[in-house]
Chain A
């Protein structure tokens, strides 16, 4: 039950931050990516601001064996940069630039984004459902193809 309460608090903070920062406005996101147009630096402040409490949390977590509620903490990050990471990030980046939406802000805008946003989210969920099949293909060694 406590896990659900803290998940709700975390989600509420995340949703509030996305909304207040302006990241649910696609023009601000596309403005950040538009280096050759009217560049908007807001996203850098959002990202930088978010990394401050998060970096502190990682430093605290490094001294703990478990989370405050007794669940295991995430393992150390993998150092492996593979095809899936790069290809997936390229695909994500193009979609992000096209629509000005990434997964968090898309969900945070559900209540006010209207039909266009809902269509985007439906397509995003479909893409997420297809991803495991793409992943299996990309996991095959190159020589075997």
Chain B
């Protein structure tokens, strides 16, 4: 547990390196919600395969790395209704805001984008209030 922050930092450096490659080679911003959303709403155009291949890399690397770990448990909630509500909010919200933790957070704030900071402060605030209300006041998560 004490080394969690080191793995967080190493993982973060890898995430940022991925974003750097996507920007400097492909000329694109590495935002997960934008990459997925463009495939869903048909706005991807001629970047369709670039997005599909990117997502394939995201899915495949954990498959390769997983055997190195004793136990991998994502601790997904068993409350299916809540998962559906959360999924709808994450999907619609990130597309309305045009970005999520990767697009607005990692890529936006690192170029000092005003929208990146505004979005990141807003979703961290909303998430914090959400956990306070749903965990400590209502006890549903």
Chain B residues in 8 Å Cβ range of A119: 80, 83-84, 87
Q: Known interface pairs A3-B50, A12-B57, A123-B91. Does A21 touch B7 (Cβ–Cβ under 8 Å)?
A: yes
A9-B57, A102-B100 are known contacts. Are A4 and B118 too (CB-CB below 8 A)?
A: no
Task: Report B90-137 residues with CB < 8 Å from chain A CB.
Answer: 90-98, 100-102, 104-111, 113-116, 118-120, 122-132, 134-136
Partner of B89, one of A15, A74, A94: A94
Q: Which of A98-129 contact B (CB under 8 A)?
A: 98-104, 106-114, 116-117, 119-129
A45-B12 contact in complex given A77-B113, A89-B123, A129-B41, C-beta closer than 8 Å: yes
Complex alpha-carbon distance, A21 and B114, angstroms: 27
**Chain B residues packing against A (C-beta within 8 Å):** 4-30, 32-33, 36-37, 40-41, 49-51, 53-63, 65-66, 72-78, 80, 82-98, 100-102, 104-111, 113-116, 118-120, 122-132, 134-136, 141
Contact A120 B33 (CB under 8 A): no
- Could you tell me the dominant secondary structure of chain A's interface residues? helix
- Chain A residues within 8 Å of B, Cβ to Cβ: 2-4, 6-28, 30, 33-37, 40-58, 60-61, 64, 66-69, 71-74, 77-81, 84-104, 106-114, 116-117, 119-132, 134-135, 138
Specify which chain B residues have a CB less than 8 angstroms from the CB of A131 in the assembled complex.
37, 41, 91-92, 95-96
Question: Which residues of B sit under 8 angstroms from A37, Cβ to Cβ?
Answer: 131, 135-136
Known: A14-B30, A93-B126. A47 touches B106 (CB 8 A): yes
Across-interface contacts of B24 in A (CB, < 8 A): 57, 60-61, 64, 67-68
The residue that B87 contacts in the complex, of A43, A58, A87, A99, with Cβ under 8 A, is: A99
